[in-house]
Structure 1
Amino acid sequence: MATTRRATPADLPLMIHALRHAAGGVNGPLDVEECRTSPAIAHYINGWTPDQVGLICLAANTPIGAAWIRDLPETDPGYGFVAPGIPELTIAISPHHRGKGHGSYLLASLLDSCRRSGIRSVSVGVDAGNPAAELFQEAGFVSVCRRDGRVVMLRVSDASTGV
């Protein structure tokens, strides 16, 4: 069974590793250096601080994945940018831990943390054809547009129920 805990600055190397997988999508993980230096990718990690929502997923007390949100400006949008004030999700589970429900658990935990923090809307950009799109749909994300070979999805929770 997996558990989650809040991400801390000490988790940034793990988050970069997760970003490699998330940004690489169906083409496989990106190089660490590309994640750190490519402006289109680095902004997902640069500027992240523990006061923002971020979780580490653990199995048997070993980190196996991470999920966090970044509210990127319209002048430096992410792949899943929808509008200012709507943070974008980054999530990844280590490849050998996929297919066991950890991604669904991590996503549900992150969305619950967002709700408790007063964040009602979250977006995500996912490569067309990426099986993760089904995970997002099951969590209530809907496709809002296609851009640069990616599907941009949005989840808006009901303010009264949090769902």
Structure 2
Amino acid sequence: MDYIIRKIKKAEYDLLNDFLYEAIYIPDGVEPPPKSIINCPELQEYVFEFGKRKDDRALVAEVQGNVVGAIWVRIMNDYGHIDNDTPSLAMSVFQKYRGQGIGTSLLQQLLLVEKSFGYSKISLSVQKNNYAVKMYKKAGFLVVDENSEEYIMTINL
């Protein structure tokens, strides 16, 4: 599949709400929550006023003119927060486009961007049963903390 990875456009910031919902891990056989769940404060931390903080950065994957995936970082007090100098990462790819290398490409490109901005590491939180754990580990992320449901992972850039 042909796709391009590019910087998000300001006019596309609202798409991050859609990708935030897509990033919610839903185990097989579990009913997805209503889309309104993204309005709760702990999830809005990922997208509220995106682009207004100096460390807000996002890339998107585009297929035939349509945005099908997004990855973004910001320094925030989220589930993957480890300190006030480390951006936390969020990403998702629409279901139809998963398993085709798009997520891996988004991740690789964002790591290069963050390194070019002088960041030394990135953190994230991921459900232990999420298939994306393998992708993060393959990219070099290491588990630095965990609870019963999630891993907190970081990568040195």
Cα-Cα RMSD: 1.7
Unaligned runs of 5+ in 2: none
TM-score between the two structures when normalised by the length of structure 2: 0.88
Q: Does 1:133 align with 2:129?
A: no
Aligned to 2:104: 104
Question: Aligned residue for 1:32?
Answer: 35
Partner of 1:2: 3
The secondary structure found in structure 2 opposite 1:26 is coil
d(CA) in 2 for partners of 1:13, 1:29: 21
CA distance in structure 2 between the aligned counterparts of 1:119 and 1:21, rounded to whole angstroms: 26
**Equivalent position amino acid for 2:10 in 1:** P
Contact 1:55 1:68 in 2 (8 A): yes
State how far apart, in whole Å, the 1-side matches of 2:66 and 2:93 are: 12
Q: Where do residues 50-89 of structure 1 align in structure 2 (5 Å cutoff)?
A: 52-72=56-76, 77-89=77-89
Count of residues paired in the alignment: 151
- Cα deviation code 1:10-57 (max 9, x no counterpart): 1123211110011x213475533221x211100100132075221111
Runs of 5+ consecutive residues of structure 1 not aligned to the other structure: 158-163
* Matches of 1:17 and 1:3, distance apart in 2: 19
Provide the residue aligned with 1:18 in structure 2: 19
The share of aligned pairs that are identical, in percent, is 23
Q: Secondary structure at the match of 1:64?
A: strand
**Alpha-carbon shift at residue 143 of structure 1 (Å):** 0.4
- Which amino acid is 2:47 matched to? I
Q: Are the equivalent residues in 2 in contact too, given 1:18–1:65 (CA < 8 A)? A: yes
Change in 2 beyond 3 A, CA 1:11/1:29: farther
* Partner residue in 2 for 1:160: none
Q: Offset of 1:80 from its aligned partner?
A: 0.8
Report the Cα distance in structure 2 between the residues aligned to 1:94 and 1:143, rounded to whole angstroms: 26
Instruction: Give, as a single letter, the amino acid of the residue that structure 2 aligns with 1:156.
Output: N
